[in-house]
Amino acid sequence: MARLDVRKTYKLYIGGAFPRSESGHSYEVADAAGRFVANASLASRKDVRDAVVAARKAFGGWSGRTAYNRGQILYRIAEVMEDRRPQFEDAVRQSEGLGAAAARGQVDAAVDRLVWYAGWADKLAQVVGNANPVAGPFFNHTAPEPTGVVGALAPQESSLLGLVSTLAPVVVSGNVAVVVSSYGRPLPAVTFAEVLATSDVPGGVVNILTGDATVLGPWLAGHMDVNAIDLVGVAGHPDLAGELEVAAADNLKRVRRAPAAEPDWSIEPGLEPMTAFLEHKTVWHPVGV
C-alpha cells in the first residue's frame, strides 16, 4: 500500500505561536478550480484582540532595534523563503490557479521585494528626515518613527506577492502588524508565517490571521490600541472601506485607503507604502556654550 501523506494543519500565527482560532471555527479552502484543499482556521474577534495584544507587546523591542538589525532580519526572511521556493510555488499555483512559470514569477518577485525592503531599513530616515535650518540658535532635526500597531487587510487576489508587499513596508520601519490574509487564498500566508517563525522575527512583530476581512476588518478598524490600518484587502468595496474609515476615526488611526481595484503588485512600490505608517518627530535643542 502506498504511503499515506501527512497533511498539515493550517493555523493562525499570533505572538510567535501557531494557535487554532479561539472560536474553534475553521473554513474550507478550495483551490482555484474549486476542489477542497484544507481547512483553515477562521479567526474571530477574540483572535484579533489577542493578536493586537501580542503586537503591542512586541512594539517596544522591535522599534528599538537598530535599523541595520531590522534590515538583516528582513533579508533573513527572504533567505528562508528562497530556500522554500518549491513549496511556495505549489501554494501559489494552487491558490491562484497559475501555471508553474507564473507561480514561480510570483514567488521570485515576493522574495525580491523582501530584499528590496530589507535594504530600505537603514536608509529611510535619511531619505524622509532632515535637518531644519530654523531662524535661531537651535539644533533642529526631523526623523521618522514607526506609527505603532498596524492592522493590515492583505489583498484578496495576490496571496503571496500582495501579502509580502503589504507587510514588509509596515515592519521595516519598526511597526508591528496584525495581518488578515486573503479569505479565499489563505494558505500561502500560513506557509509564510512558518517562514517568519524561523527567520529571527521576534514573536508578535507579525501576526497573521486567516479569515474574512469583511468580518474582522471592523474589529481591527475600531480597536483603540491599533494605530493605523491598511485597507487594500477591501479594494473594490467602497461602502465597506468607508465604514472601516469611520470606525478608524474613533482613535484617529492613520488610514491607507482602499484602492478601487487591487494594485499591480509587480510595480516597484516607491516610498508611500512605508511613509503611510511613519510619524515625523522634530527635536529642538539650544546651541550655546
Partner 1 sequence: MAFEYAPAPESRSIVDIKPSYGLFVDGAFVDGNGAAFKTINPATEETLAEIAEADEADVDAAVQAARRAFRSWSRMPGKERAKYLFRIARILQERARELAVLESIDNGKPIKESRDVDVPTVAAHFFYHAGWADKLDYAGLGPNPRALGVAGQVIPWNFPLLMLAWKVAPALACGNTVVLKPAETTPLTALLFAEICQQADLPAGVVNIITGAGGTGQALVGHPDVDKVAFTGSTDVGKAIARAVAGTDKKVTLELGGKAANIVFEDAALDQAVEGIVSGIFFNQGHVCCAGSRLLVQESVAEEVLHRLKRRMATLRVGDPLDKNTDIGAINSAEQLARITELSGIGDAEGAERWSPDCELPASGYWFPPTIFTGVSQAHRIAREEIFGPVLSVLTFRTPSEAIEKANNTPYGLSAGVWTEKGSRILHMADRLRAGVVWANTFNKFDPTSPFGGYQESGYGREGGRQGLAAYLKGGQA
* Interface contacts to partner 1, rule CB under 8 A: 127-128, 130, 132-136, 138, 140, 142, 147, 227, 238-239, 241-243, 245-246, 248-252, 254, 270-272, 275, 279-286
Rounded CA-CA distance 273/170 in Å is: 7
Q: Of the two residues 17 and 127, which places its CB atom closer to partner 1 in the complex?
A: 127
Phi, psi of 35 (to 5 degrees): -85, 140
Measured CA angle at 275 (ends 210, 13), to 5 deg: 20
Rounded CA-CA distance 248/167 in Å is: 19
Q: Of the two residues 193 and 228, which places its CB atom closer to partner 1 in the complex?
A: 228
Cβ 278 to partner 1 shortest distance, Å = 8
Cβ 141 to partner 1 shortest distance, Å = 9
Task: Residue 118: name the closest of 79, 174, 63, 75 by CA.
Answer: 75
b/e per residue 35-46 (b: at least 16 CB within 10 A): eebbebbbbbee
Contact 36, 30 (CB under 8 A): yes
Distances (CA, A) of 269 to 5, 16, 134, 155, 260: 40, 28, 33, 15, 17
Q: Of the two residues 97 and 263, which places its CB atom closer to partner 1 in the complex?
A: 263
Cβ 166 to partner 1 shortest distance, Å = 17
Cβ 211 to partner 1 shortest distance, Å = 23
Cβ 286 to partner 1 shortest distance, Å = 5
Q: Of the two residues 100 and 246, which places its CB atom closer to partner 1 in the complex?
A: 246
Edge-to-edge strands of the sheet including 254-256? 206-209, 176-180, 149-153, 228-230, 254-256
Element at 212 (helix H, strand E): none
Cβ 89 to partner 1 shortest distance, Å = 33
Q: Of the two residues 17 and 271, which places its CB atom closer to partner 1 in the complex?
A: 271
Rounded CA-CA distance 159/110 in Å is: 10
Q: Of the two residues 266 and 282, which places its CB atom closer to partner 1 in the complex?
A: 282
Cβ 249 to partner 1 shortest distance, Å = 4
Rounded CA-CA distance 49/53 in Å is: 6
Q: Residue 280: beta bridge partners? A: 144
Q: Within 10 Å of residue 105's Cβ, how many Cβ atoms?
A: 16
Q: Of the two residues 8 and 281, which places its CB atom closer to partner 1 in the complex?
A: 281
Q: Of the two residues 30 and 143, which places its CB atom closer to partner 1 in the complex?
A: 143
Cβ 103 to partner 1 shortest distance, Å = 32
